[in-house]
Amino acid sequence: MNSLPPATTTQAESVTDEKHPYRIVIVGGGAGGLELATQLGNKLGKSGKAEVTLVDRARTHIWKPLLHEIAAGSMDTGRHELPYQAQGHWHGFRYRYGEMIGLDRAGKRVHLGATYDEDGREITPDRWFPYDTLVIAVGSISNDFRTPGVKENAIMLDTPEQAERFNRRILNACVRAYAQPGPIRDGQLHVAIIGAGATGTELSAELHHAARGLVEFGLDKIDPEKDFKITLIEAAPRILPALPERLSKATTNILHSIGVEVRTGSAVTNVSKEGVTLANGDFIPSELVVWAAGVKGPEVLSNLDGLEVSRMNTLVVKPTLQTTVDDNIFVIGDAAYLVPEGETAPIPPRAQAAHQESSHLVTQIQRRMNGETKLAPFKYRDFGSLVSLGKYSTVGNLMGFIDGKSLRIEGWFAKIMYRSLYKMHEIALHGYVKVFLDTLSRLLTRRTEPQVKLH
């Protein structure tokens, strides 16, 4: 690691004398990070009790569970993305554009690398941000398990940009197949989705519907039943291993009924431009490959001035969500590794965990500001899992509603519950009135536009 500049460097944006307000820096504007910045900004930033700063390498926020809809083209990003700059202005926190590349724990500073535009011109310089309390909420990235060809030939769905890139490739592939003089060749419009967790399974259903929508808008040379094929590949014995087996079987039956090929017990050994090779030697021709098989922490977490990392490169935290070696640093969301007392597995990387952790820290950070050294431990409550299959169905299980047992749900009620998760996130950011008006506006606009993205 490069030697650190002195703590009084002029590159540090905030003043460093004793008169500065309490400085809270949140790195990562995902579900947990943005909710935390919003709540702390409302409670502390607006009144001047603290200086709340949110750092992110993107300029806008999209709820990550929606990325499969963006990839399929069934959701317009522009109607759901939230500018960090505007959110900070409305809710009393500062937004700073940049990506964390290092940490100086002794000087209590976060290192942000320089940023550049598409022409290579510098936007923001290399900078250091001082903090009194630091919250790391950088999320997770896809884990390719060092499978040959994945980085070169597959698209991951970690960011809106990747989801939009895949959507453009789908649209271009369909237009290319329609415009070419000869017949559509085998594999030309085949999509292989590797990983049958929630993201991969939801994407397979959304793509099936979106492909038929594209054909309806004039690409009638393409036969969606014969030419457009989707293969969902999973190394485990069944899809959706986080859900009860009955729901996994029900989902598999739904996917089979709409023509999605499901290959379970099938590990991928290579991804090429022509397709996917399985461990048993089978080859699945496909020019479009999505990798959705597992997650890990971003690479930056492995070298943050001695912070303890797990096997999956996430930061190990104590029950208070503070890192094991530095009480000034908290971690929430997918980047945190916490095994609850009495459990053997860590808290799963889900949006509901990030939401609960951010709500917990709002109170705990205020206690810390007041000089309290003993903070309350975080207690995760699993409300279950829901998986949307687009227009076809929604399945899931709700935990602890009947004498501590799970309630398995499917169909219309499950769909309403699935949509309510996103509404809860929006309410945490905007409040009830704005969410109601935004929802009404989207419903009205939805009736006047194509149901699939065509550009």
pLDDT grade for 316, boundaries at 50, 70 and 90: very high
For 300-313, write each residue's pLDDT tens digit.
999 999 999 999 99
pTM (predicted TM-score): 0.89
pLDDT at 450: 59
Measure the CA–CA gap between 224 and 358, rounded to whole angstroms.
44
For 263-291, write each residue's pLDDT tens digit.
999 999 999 999 999 999 999 999 899 99
Which of 118-127, 231-240, 343-352 is least confident?
343-352
pLDDT of residue 454 exceeding 70, the answer is no
For 30-74, write each residue's pLDDT tens digit.
999 999 999 999 999 999 999 999 999 999 999 998 899 899 888
pLDDT of residue 77 exceeding 90, the answer is no
Of the two residues 448 and 237, the one the predictor is more confident about is 237
Facing residues of 27 across strands?
55, 136
Most confident range (mean pLDDT) of 6-15, 87-96, 225-234, 440-449 is 87-96
3-state secondary structure of 415: helix
User: What integer is the mean pLDDT of 19-31?
Assistant: 92
E-strand stretches of 131-267: 133-136, 141-142, 155-156, 190-194, 229-233, 261-263
For 334-374, write each residue's pLDDT tens digit.
999 999 988 889 999 988 999 999 999 999 999 999 998 89
Q: Residue 351 in contact with residue 332, Cβ under 8 Å?
A: no
User: What integer is the mean pLDDT of 255-269?
Assistant: 95
pLDDT of residue 435 exceeding 60, the answer is yes
Q: What percent of the chain has pLDDT over 90?
A: 63
Closest C-alpha among 339, 303, 306 to residue 321: 339
Measure the CA–CA gap between 408 and 247, rounded to whole angstroms.
8
pLDDT at 449: 61
For residue 361, the number of C-alpha atoms closer than 13 Å in the C-beta half-sphere is 33
Measure the CA–CA gap between 168 and 455, rounded to whole angstroms.
7
3-state secondary structure of 338: coil
pLDDT of residue 197 exceeding 60, the answer is yes
Q: Residue 252 in contact with residue 205, Cβ under 8 Å?
A: no
Measure the CA–CA gap between 353 and 350, rounded to whole angstroms.
5
Domains in the chain and their CATH numbers?
22-140+297-369 (3.50.50.60), 150-291 (3.50.50.60), 384-446 (no CATH)
Residue 161 phi, psi dihedral angles, 5° rounding: -65, -40
pLDDT at 322: 97
Mean pLDDT of the chain: 88
pLDDT grade for 243, boundaries at 50, 70 and 90: confident
pLDDT grade for 10, boundaries at 50, 70 and 90: very low
Of the two residues 16 and 169, the one the predictor is more confident about is 169
pLDDT of residue 399 exceeding 70, the answer is no
Q: 194 vs 55, 67, 279, 290, 362, CA distance in Å?
A: 32, 16, 13, 6, 38
For 30-41, write each residue's pLDDT tens digit.
999 999 999 999
